Amino acid sequence: MLLALALACSGPTDSAGDPADTASGNDSVDSGGDLTPRECTAPKVSLLHDFPWETLPETYDYQHTQDGIALGDIDGDGWIDALFAYGGGSAGYRNDGAGNLVFDPNIDMDGGPMVTGQGAAFADLDADGDLDVYVGRDRGWPAVIGYNDGTGHFTTTELPGSEIATMTGAFADFDGDLDLDLFVGATITDTDGTGVMAGEITSGDGDQIYLQADDGTFQNATDQAPVEDMWGWTFQGSPIDYDQDGDLDLYLAHDWGAYIQPNRMLRNDGTGHFTRDADCRCELVQYAMGAAVGDANADGLPDLFTTDIGGPNLQVNLGDGTFVDATQALGAVIPATEHSLTSWATTFVDLDQDSYPDLTTVYGQLGQPELIGDAAGTAGMVDGPEQYDAFLHGGADGQFTLTDVGFTDPERKRGLAVGDLDRDGVPDLVTVGKYFMRQYHTEGGCGAGVRVLLHGKGKNQEAIGAKVEAEVGGRTVTQWALYSVTFSMNAPELYFGVGTAHQIDALHVTWPDGTTSDAGPAQPGDTVELDWR
């Protein structure tokens, strides 16, 4: 059921509805007002579609790069599509209207095949009502922005100074001018790691910050950040308002932290100028592949979950600009075994819709097992050829529990994205790796939750950076419109579980400019659309 809700706002906003092809309602209140009992079962993730090597396009000479996946509605039909970025030539997958991703060569770039890629992200960059795309690429191939004509035909432009190993791209309004800017993490992809350990390679290719100008072009503004802190081995830079001052900062997840540079927190002054915060107590020395932002302990503050070789780490925000390691305290432990050693993309998502945040993480062999044991901090570890993805279930007791939900894929995963592909009110998963894509269907749990779509303004049409709080069962559940994942991007919508409650009592939105909106109630299966004005 799509809700057109009346909103109480600090500035005039409303909620708009699209009556076509909306998710079916599953209201827990009938016409007589009697409450229907709700129960929750164990969630299960099952493989729906496998896209192996043989099905992928081979437009270009194959490159041994990473792989990324971006989810979003490419053609405006209300169904989530996908763009898979990989070295043989990226590919578009259109949703068939029943929740199935189907390869479509008609999703193209400049009238021909899509470019090679190793990272992808969607956003409506020109405010014309459709999703445009960033594709990061290997050294020697400039990263591109593709502008969508609304049907999946993209016209590309190159990002200046990007002929480096560009990885995850994260869109955000860093300078507060209501258009989306871009952070691009960079590494080096033509090394086997031995040069790093030998001290011959001492930096990445240099991260990039692009600010969108009034004419829509992306201008390289990397000089507005501390240069010495932009040369780590950065798989992902995660936007996060960790200091709660209303602008988006950047947390840089650095691989080879013991050799090149530990993780970094870059504080934004609100104008797109960044300085390193060396006092955040969050500069972990890791082989970090990614960093997820979410509220792990229900205090309304953004926390960080970073992946690593040997086990991810959960850092809880203390509210004073510092973090504390809460991995053990909150049970967010994934033991380092030969079947779960090297973790890559990770994201907060309430997969079972019980109203408590979960953590989903993909694993995959590094592919250089001879390095493990020689590299710092990895003594005795085994980077096994078969490594299984991990699901940390968040419970009502505030603890995470490692739970088997059906992730049995042993292959080398790299990227991950979340989206309700079949519009049943429950988020699904897509994983990508070396070299394949897999679509999973989620079932069980507590059934349909409430989907929240944010409509922004200016050239921030996805309202990236907004904070959404849901009142459910006497608790406040907090999520942020921050969709970046390692090499990848979640669908630009939020999923709030209801659990055994009968509705979300209220929704509170704090928009990127600090104005607020209120809406509700909303029942399981509803879609709530909110406008920022």
Residue 5 banded pLDDT, cuts 50, 70, 90: very low
Q: What is the pLDDT of residue 36?
A: 66
3-state secondary structure of 24: coil
Q: What is the pLDDT of residue 8?
A: 33
The C-alpha atoms of residue 519 and residue 219 are separated, in whole angstroms, by 38
> Is the pLDDT at 9 greater than 50, yes or no?
no
pLDDT in tens, 429-452: 999 999 999 999 999 999 999 999
Computed over every residue of the chain, the mean pLDDT equals 92
Dihedral pair phi/psi, residue 396, rounded to 5°: -65, -20
> Is the pLDDT at 340 greater than 50, yes or no?
yes
Q: What is the pLDDT of residue 533?
A: 87
Dihedral pair phi/psi, residue 133, rounded to 5°: -140, 145
Share of the chain above pLDDT 70, in %: 93
Tell me the whole-structure pTM to 2 decimals. Answer: 0.93
Side-chain-facing half-sphere of 161: CA atoms under 13 Å: 16
Q: What is the pLDDT of residue 35?
A: 57
Please name every residue paired with 276 in a beta bridge, in sequence order, or none if there are none: 266
pLDDT in tens, 390-432: 999 999 999 999 999 999 999 999 999 999 999 999 999 999 9
Residue 32 banded pLDDT, cuts 50, 70, 90: very low
Q: What is the pLDDT of residue 370?
A: 84
The C-alpha atoms of residue 288 and residue 389 are separated, in whole angstroms, by 16
Q: What is the pLDDT of residue 19?
A: 32
Mean pLDDT, residues 373-392 taken together:
95
Closest to 151 (Cα-Cα) out of 184, 106, 95, 185: 106
Closest to 213 (Cα-Cα) out of 287, 336, 134, 126: 126
Q: What is the pLDDT of residue 191?
A: 80
pLDDT in tens, 342-359: 999 999 999 999 999 999
Lowest mean pLDDT among 52-56, 391-395, 462-466: 52-56
Peptide bond into 302 cis (omega under 30): no
The C-alpha atoms of residue 313 and residue 286 are separated, in whole angstroms, by 9
Whether residue 431 contacts residue 486, with contact meaning beta carbons closer than 8 Å, is answered with no
Q: What is the pLDDT of residue 265?
A: 98
Residue 114 banded pLDDT, cuts 50, 70, 90: very high
Q: What is the pLDDT of residue 24?
A: 32
